[in-house]
Each structure stands twice: as C-alpha cells, then as structure tokens.
Structure 1
Amino acid sequence: MSLIHEYTKELIATGILGILLIFLRIVATKLVRRYAKTNQTLEHRTNLVIKYMHLFINILVIIALIIIWGVQTKDITIALSSITTVVGVALFAQWSILSNITAGVILFFSFPFKIGDVIKIHDKDFPVMAEIEDIGAFHVFLKTSDGEIIIYPNNLLLQKGISILEKQFNDKEYVD
C-alpha cells in the first residue's frame, strides 16, 4: 500500500496520459477520415495514414511516460542519441524506403490526382502514360492502355512533372 502512496502523482499522471492518448488517437482518426472523405480517398490509403499518425502519437506518449516516471533528462538524451545514431545509420542505408513513405503521406494530403486518374509522367528516359490503379505506402501502381502494370516509387512522383489527362481508359468501379 505504501508503494501506491509513494507513486500517487506518477500514477495519476499516467492515467491522465492514457486518457489523452485515447482522445488524441480518436481525434486524429476522425480528422484524417474527414479529410479523406472530402477528397474521395480510398479506405485502405486512409487507414495507412491513420497508422502513421497513431505511431507518431504513441512515440510521443512513450516519451511523456519516461519523463513522468522520473528518468533523468540527461539519461533520456544519452539513450535517444544512441538510438538515433543506430537508427540513422540503418536508415541511411535504406533512405529510399523512408523517402517513399514520406512521399506517400505527402501524396495523400496534397497531390491533386487520385486512383482512377490517367496521368502522364514527364520523364526524359522513361515517359509513362497510365491510369493510377493504387497508391500504396511505397509505390504507385499504374496500368497502361496496353494492360502493362508499372510500379512507380512514390518519391519519384514528387520529383517528376505530371500531367493529369482526360479519362482515356475504360471506366470501372473501384472497391476497397
């Protein structure tokens, strides 16, 4: 019983943080879903961005819990710098994965094309005119008029000029 009295403030703060975590996740989910609904984004793309948001919120809550339970700031700094160094070295080798995920989130929130649009990618070496079949975390799946499937990295879509063309392919219904 003395253990509960000794850590009353930390337990109360942890409870409040737990409630705040639930609230932030619900609010973030509703905001992303509202944004996706106004832009007519497919459900699985919306769920992917929601997962990214939840991961970010969870990391912030873990950091807050570490601070609440009295880990010294100096110790947190040392641990985070060590972890960041290891992760940084690992991600440097895999920078394209991180850039594709970031580009996928940017495509979700800011680009004017969506699944079903026919686009032309202005690439000097490999020009592409195709319909967007799917936009994933790492790649965009394009289908040419010949039926060829092209998997195009998200980060290249941010680097290349793109034209949105009039619908030239057969219409079909898109279902999640």
Structure 2
Amino acid sequence: MEELFYPHVSEIKYTVAVIIILLILRFSLKTTANRVGKRQDINLARIKLMFRYINFLVVFIAIFLLLLVWGVEVTQLSLVFSSVFAVVGVALFAVWSILSNITSGVILFFSFPYKIGDQIKIHDKEAPIEAIIEDIKAFQLHLRTLEGELITYPNSLLLQKPVTLIKKDAFADEGKDAL
C-alpha cells in the first residue's frame, strides 16, 4: 500500500492544499455575497442563484489547478481548454442573449437599486412600461402592470434602458389598502 502512495506524496499534499484553499475561497465568496444580499435587502432566491455561480467558478478553478498538480502540462491544458472553449463558444454564439442575460443578472444582483415590490417605469421609446417588480430571476424580471398583466423583461435590456422608481415597495401599500 505504501508503494502506491509514496511516489505521489507531494501531489497528494498539493491536492489537499488546493482543496482547502478553494473551500476557504468558496466560503469567503459566499459570505460576501450573503452580506451584500442582506445589506441591500436582496431576495433569498437571488442570493442562492449567486451561490450556484460561485460553486461553478470554484469547481472550474479546482479542476484546472488539480490537473496542473497531477502533472498535466500547461501546453496540454491550454490545448484542451482552448478546444473546449472554441466548441462552447461556437455552440453558444447562437444563444448569446442567454449569456448576456445571465451576466446582466449577476450585475443586477450587486448593483440594481430596486427591490421586489417596487413600482418602476422603464423608459422604452417603443413600449414604455410602468409596473411593480414581482420577481427577479437569472434571465429576466417579472413585472406586474397596474392592469394585472405579467411581463417578463430581459435583464440585459434592463441595463440598457433608463429606469425610474415610482413607488418604493408598492406591495406594502396594496396590503394597507386591503385592511
């Protein structure tokens, strides 16, 4: 049994070190995202979505570092990753809007000044929208117009259009009217 592990002692030590460092990185990133979410009063579902993005990032980094630790050369690794990224890039070129909306969702998580329940107006030349934010998803916003119509508005467009806050937490006002 010792003959099996002895030649790979340094790789095993580096593997354990990489795993520990990445777990610490993952914990600190999740803690930061959680703090930002609580400080900005962000919906729990959006915070969990950010946790999924963090997990994906950490796993990607772990795979890359562990391949390096176990002796895969940088030239071989760069060849594999460039091939994978080329295939993924060509495959996703047709669905670039999905990637754009995901990226916009991450940006909105950290910098969108409006919350669920706020009544906003999106200044769009063709179709201005005045509605209440019902939910904020990874790809789109769910908006409820004053007439009760549900609109799904892409996150990427939301970053491109001017948005005005009409009323803070309009749902709270609706609940007051019901009493």
TM-score for both structures, normalised by structure 1: 0.94
Give the 4+ runs in structure 1 shifted more than 2 A: 166-173
| Structure 1: tracts of 5 or more residues without a match | none
CA distance in 2, matches of 1:167, 1:73: 53
CA distance in 2, matches of 1:14, 1:170: 51
2:3 maps to what in 1?
2
Number of residue-to-residue matches in the alignment: 173
1:169 CA drift (Å) = 4.5
* 8 A contact 2:118–2:169 mirrored in 1: no
| Structure 2: tracts of 5 or more residues without a match | none
CA RMSD in angstroms comes to: 1.4
2:89 maps to what in 1?
88
1:126 CA drift (Å) = 1.0
CA distance in 1, matches of 2:3, 2:111: 54
In structure 2, do the counterparts of structure 1 residues 124 and 45 end up closer, same or farther at CA, with 3 Å as the change threshold?
same
CA distance in 2, matches of 1:19, 1:85: 31
Percent same amino acid among aligned pairs? 44
> What amino acid is the match of 1:44?
A
1:170 CA drift (Å) = 4.8
Structure richer in helix, relative to its length: 2
> What amino acid is the match of 1:5?
Y
TM-score for both structures, normalised by structure 2: 0.92
In structure 2, do the counterparts of structure 1 residues 9 and 168 end up closer, same or farther at CA, with 3 Å as the change threshold?
closer
Which aligned pairs between 1:1-176 and structure 2 lie closer than 5 A?
Answer: 1-167=2-168, 169-171=170-172
